[in-house]
Amino acid sequence: SRDHSSRIDYIFTSEGILGQILSHEVLDIEDFTTDHKALTIKIELKESIDLNRKEYFKQIKAELKRIKLETEDWEIIAERFDDKLLDITENDINREEMWETMVAIYEEQKTNRINELKEIREKEKEKENEEQQKTEERILDLLIKETRNNQIN
């Protein structure tokens, strides 16, 4: 119905920007016939603007080494976020605490997913290393057998 919002919309931000939010306010949009609300956010940008070019490229290079979350990962995070929000009752939290709680849940779920991906990546590396070691051992065995055969002949 138009009287009550029918769903919760989410806003995902660039990494690190959450800590720069100074305040926020949810506004009703009276000029439009919609069940949506507007969210205004004030952000401290001074520190972000102060980056010099060298630091900027260093940061980009470091980000390339990080785990990149794909669409599937963001969907998993959003689903887990929804589940956690559903666990919270009105008695558990008040309106003022909701933003901090949502940020904490988001950060927790994102960190959990990144750790899962790191673990998957490490297991894949271990498997590759084991396969490489087995291949090297087979080659060494073949070389030893060939050397022995050549010595006999």
Residues 42 and 3 in one domain: yes
What domain range includes position 37?
1-66
Residues 114 and 75 in one domain: yes
Q: Nearest-CA neighbor of 107 among 83, 81, 86, 85?
A: 81
Q: Measure the CA–CA gap between 79 and 106, rounded to whole angstroms.
A: 11
Q: pLDDT for 22-61, tens place per residue?
A: 666 766 666 656 666 666 666 665 555 555 666 766 776 6
Supply the pTM of this predicted model.
Answer: 0.47
Residues 147 and 83 in one domain: yes
Residues 50 and 32 in one domain: yes
pLDDT band at 1 (very low <50, low <70, confident <90, very high): very low
Mean pLDDT for 142-149 is: 84
Residues 56 and 90 in one domain: no
Query: Nearest 5°: phi and psi at 56?
Result: -60, -50
> Which of 66, 82, 97 is the last residue before a domain boundary?
66
Query: 41: part of which helix (H) or strand (E)?
Result: strand 37-43
φ/ψ bin of 36: left (φ > 0), alpha (ψ from -120 to 50), beta (otherwise): beta
Query: Nearest 5°: phi and psi at 38?
Result: -100, 145
pLDDT, position 76: 92
Query: Nearest 5°: phi and psi at 51?
Result: -65, 130
Residues 49 and 99 in one domain: no
Q: pLDDT for 97-140, tens place per residue?
A: 788 888 889 999 998 998 898 888 889 889 998 999 999 889 88
Residues 78 and 53 in one domain: no
Number of domains present in the structure of the chain? 2
